[in-house]
């Protein structure tokens, strides 16, 4: 049962001081579906204890009705008979920390939720981040939005419903989605070259896939750098002559273990890749972000157990000197494999999740234009806005606190990675 975990999300630090969340939901006609789902988690009403420092994004009835029933979220809503799936769905809407609308700016904040790796039903786990799955918070014009898996954007329709100082509730028009496993994401988003290359290389890692059909050790808490299909084709001649060992070295250089890195926290740093050689990140004054000689073109895709950034070049495991970066050069002149020539067809084509019917055919404009790297000017403007509108009550943006001794949910502040590249 998941009631001890989930009860933490709906607790007040004092019944008198914080109020009754169940009663609040019951008083909101457009939250009746949410109230019903909460009631399906066995024992929830009787296990309300004390917790604070959380933000709940509450989907409206229409938001729940709009979820397709052929995805995990929709199945949980429709069947009403899987308390684990329902608990996972609800936990993904509870953020660790208090985020009033006034502190959310056009520079995204990525925060962890109560959806941890304990939610596993008969078919699948729902997330595998240490300490809780991530979602993003960002301002889109005057709207406050939540970014979740599968390129989902939820817009706040009513903000800042308070239950004491430690619990904030925002109503949203779209149910937050679970993140997809890495290979499913690459198939749905159209990055088939890296999907097929990973199949051909047989890295002995499963990046979030589960079940008897998937080989290798499963890893979590990673950052993936995803070259486009065009980037792979640009070095096609080199790939055609590469043996499996070389292909493994190149591909493992595109994963960073034990390190969930969002673009908003990047700087001029070096980070070891799964392959072992350092990756060199560079942030320029214009707000562009680079890894070695490749530009990050689409950042911060939230996965089942990691974060993905799309880049415009395939990375070479050879050492890279930041001084050699030529950001003004066209992509064709920044190829990291000297002597490589382009091909029209890659030497590998077998992909995982072949035949999956869901694809991202129309990426939301917000995800295309969102601030990837806060420049000094953008950061100052955002901070000024947040400071000017910040309420007088204290704003807590840390982890959710707990005072119930019977609760077994624990926030893990350290990201663990138990496997190494073999």
Hey, where are the domains in the chain?
A: 3-179+374-402, 191-333
User: Can you give the pLDDT at residue 42?
Assistant: 67
Tens digits of residue pLDDT in 163-212 = 767 788 999 999 999 999 999 999 999 999 999 999 999 887 766 565 55
Q: Pick the residue with more confidence: 422 or 43?
A: 43
Tens digits of residue pLDDT in 385-404 = 333 332 322 333 333 433 22
Strands 306-311 and 222-227: parallel
Closest CA to 89 of 40, 49, 20, 29: 40
Asked if the domains 3-179+374-402 and 191-333 are classified in one and the same CATH topology, the answer is yes
Domain 3-179+374-402 indexed as CATH 2.30.180.10: yes
150-154, 178-182, 216-220: least confidently modelled range: 216-220
Tens digits of residue pLDDT in 91-118 = 999 999 999 999 999 999 999 999 988 8
Label residue 72 by pLDDT band (50, 70, 90): confident
H or E element at residue 148: strand 143-148
Tens digits of residue pLDDT in 298-352 = 999 999 999 999 999 999 999 999 999 999 999 999 999 999 999 999 999 899 8
Strands 278-283 and 289-291: antiparallel
Q: How far apart are CA 414 and CA 49, in angstroms?
A: 26
Homologous superfamily in CATH for domain 191-333: FAS1 domain (2.30.180.10)
Q: How far apart are CA 16 and CA 147, in angstroms?
A: 33
Closest CA to 160 of 100, 117, 116: 100
**pTM of the predicted structure, to 2 decimals:** 0.84
Label residue 213 by pLDDT band (50, 70, 90): low
Q: Where are the alpha helices (DSSP H) in 57-214?
A: 61-66, 72-79, 83-91, 182-189, 192-201
Label residue 379 by pLDDT band (50, 70, 90): very low
Is residue 202 left, alpha or beta, with left meaning phi > 0 and alpha meaning psi from -120 to 50? left
């Amino acid at each position: 049962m998941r009631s001890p975990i989930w009860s933490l999300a709906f607790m007040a630090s004092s019944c008198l001081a914080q109020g009754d969340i169940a009663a609040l939901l019951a008083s909101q006609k457009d939250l009746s579906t949410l109230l019903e789902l909460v009631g399906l988690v066995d024992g929830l009403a009787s296990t309300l204890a004390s917790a604070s420092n959380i933000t709940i994004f509450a989907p409206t009835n229409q938001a729940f009705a709009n979820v397709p029933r052929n995805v995990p979220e929709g199945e949980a809503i429709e069947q009403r008979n899987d308390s684990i799936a329902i608990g996972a769905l609800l936990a993904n809407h509870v953020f660790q920390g208090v985020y009033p609308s006034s502190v959310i700016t056009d520079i995204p904040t990525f925060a962890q939720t109560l959806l941890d790796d304990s939610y596993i039903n008969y078919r699948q786990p729902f997330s595998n981040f240490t300490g809780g799955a991530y979602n993003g918070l960002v301002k889109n014009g005057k709207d406050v939005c939540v970014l979740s898996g599968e390129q989902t954007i939820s817009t706040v329709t009513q903000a800042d419903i308070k239950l004491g100082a430690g619990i904030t509730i925002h109503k949203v028009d779209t149910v937050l989605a679970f993140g997809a496993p890495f290979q499913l994401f690459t198939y749905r988003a159209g990055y088939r070259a890296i999907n097929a290359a990973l199949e051909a290389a047989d890295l002995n890692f499963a990046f979030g896939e589960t079940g008897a059909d998937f080989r290798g050790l499963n890893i979590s808490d990673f950052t993936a750098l995803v070259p486009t299909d065009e980037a792979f084709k640009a070095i096609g001649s080199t790939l055609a002559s590469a043996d499996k060992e070389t292909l493994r070295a190149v591909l493992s250089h595109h994963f960073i273990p034990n390190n969930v890195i969002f673009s908003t926290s990047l700087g001029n740093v070096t980070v070891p890749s799964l392959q072992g050689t350092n990756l060199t990140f560079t942030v320029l004054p214009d707000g562009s972000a680079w890894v070695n000689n490749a530009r990050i073109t689409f950042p911060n895709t939230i996965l089942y157990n990691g974060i993905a950034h799309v880049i415009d070049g395939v990375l070479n495991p050879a050492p890279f000197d930041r001084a050699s970066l030529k950001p003004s050069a066209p992509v064709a002149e920044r190829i990291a494999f000297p002597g490589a020539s382009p091909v029209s067809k890659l030497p590998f084509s077998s992909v995982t999740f072949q035949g999956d019917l869901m694809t991202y055919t129309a990426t939301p404009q917000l995800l295309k234009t969102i601030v990837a790297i806060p420049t000094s000017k953008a950061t100052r403007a955002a901070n000024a806005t947040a400071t000017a509108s910040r309420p007088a009550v204290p704003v807590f943006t840390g982890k959710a606190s707990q005072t119930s001794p019977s609760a077994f949910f624990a926030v893990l502040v350290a990201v663990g990675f138990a496997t190494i590249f073999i």
